[in-house]
Structure 1
Amino acid sequence: MFSRGSNSDPAIGLPKPPGAANGLPPTIPSAPVATNGRASPFGAASVIGQSVIGTDLTILGEKITIISQNRLQIDGDVRGDVTGKQVVIGEEGSIIGTVCAEQIEVRGGVRGAIKAQNVMLHPTSVVEGDIFHQTLSISEGAQFDGRVRRAKDISEITPNLDVNSYPVSSSQTG
């Protein structure tokens, strides 16, 4: 089926796509449906469970809120609020704004409030702002300038993951 040759055209020997013979654009067949009873590895984002803001990405804006239903890894720069189930700020990541999640791990920088049930500041973290928590872990070497307060009521630090409850600005409605 495959052979080595000097011909550099990879399409030679392949069947022509439907419609190619009559000048119509080729059609793309639909993806095959799994018949083995297993779910596709490319499920919805809420099923897969992790989003990443990479080192090459900077998010800027007025009154921006990023919401993640699962784990959010931030290796880039965000100037806005971040809300999620679990937020991890990588060593190269930074947030200027409020971070609210069930669990927050800081390896990079945060300038703003942190609100979470479980907060972990790693040795490379730099935090300027207040921390509201149920449990707090600060590793030796972590830099922290702010106040710490244990939440009396869990609702104070519970992230709002309901996208529909946030106001829509007039610039987003068209």
Structure 2
Amino acid sequence: MFSKSKINDPAPKPEEATRPAAPAPKTDANPAAAEFKAAAPKAKPPASVLSSDLHVTGNLKTTGDIQVEGTVEGDIRAHLLTIGEGATIKGEVIADDVVINGRIVGRVRGLKVRLTSTARVEGDIIHKTIAIESGAHFEGSVQRQDDPLNAKSKNPNPAAAAASSDAAKG
């Protein structure tokens, strides 16, 4: 193991030379710890896949990625959420990145939201950036926010939100 770290150590040293002098002694003082920290972000686990024959009733929450091919009745919170073509979600979806190929009935909150041509969304979308492909079906409102994941910014003006909700129903 130590021979591998000696092999890998020369590559980071040129990068450290471009950085301020303070971090270099820390890395040299404990090369095994520095190597472990550098490798930690790369060791991202694969997305959790909910297969097409799976029906989940309840909320899902993870800091990782989820790919849904089945049915979920509940809220989902993830880093990257991919909704498959045959999938149905009934609940609120909150993720950094949301890719919708299937059906969602409920609010979508995401930094980046993408509705593909097979997407079917019935609910409001609160986003920082959005892309809607030709052929996607969407019924609801779209609202841009700098921090769409923050639940506190859900209703900045409750009276206006109630009025727009009533207008949407009528």
Q: TM-score, normalised by structure 1?
A: 0.61
Partner of 1:111: 105
Distance of 1:122 and 1:47 partners within structure 2: 26
Hey, what does 1:52 align to over in structure 2?
49
Segments of 4+ in structure 1 off by > 2 A?
Answer: none
Indicate whether 1:157 and 2:149 are aligned.
yes
The answer for the alignment partner of 1:82 in structure 2 is 76
Which residue in the other structure is 1:142 paired with?
A: 136
Aligned length: 116
What are the superposed Cα offsets for residues 11-40 of structure 1, whole Å, 9 maximum, x if unpaired? xxxxxxxxxxxxxxxxxxxxxxx9x97x9x
Q: Secondary structure at the match of 1:56?
A: coil
Residues 68 and 84, structure 1, Cα contact 8 Å, conserved in 2: yes
Question: Higher helix proportion, which one?
Answer: 2
The equivalent residue for 1:166 is none
TM-score by length of 2: 0.62
Aligned to 2:91: 97
Aligned counterparts of 2:62 and 2:98: Cα–Cα separation in 1: 13
**What's the secondary structure of 2:134's corresponding residue?**
coil
- Listed as ranges, the gaps of 5+ residues in structure 2 are 5-35, 37-42, 152-170
Q: Tell me, what secondary structure is at the counterpart of 2:64?
A: strand
Q: Matched residues, percent identical?
A: 32
Amino acid corresponding to residue 69 of structure 1 in structure 2: T
Aligned-residue offset at 1:94? 1.0
Q: Which residue of 2 aligns with 1:132?
A: 126
- Structure 1, gaps ≥5 residues long: 1-33, 40-45, 160-174
Structure exhibiting the larger radius of gyration computed from Cα positions: 1
Say what the alpha-carbon RMSD is for the aligned residues. 2.5
Q: Report the residue type matching 1:93 in the other structure.
A: A
CA displacement at 1:47 relative to structure 2? 3.7
Between the aligned partners of 2:67 and 2:94, the Cα distance in structure 1 is: 14
Distance 1:68 1:94 in 2: 19
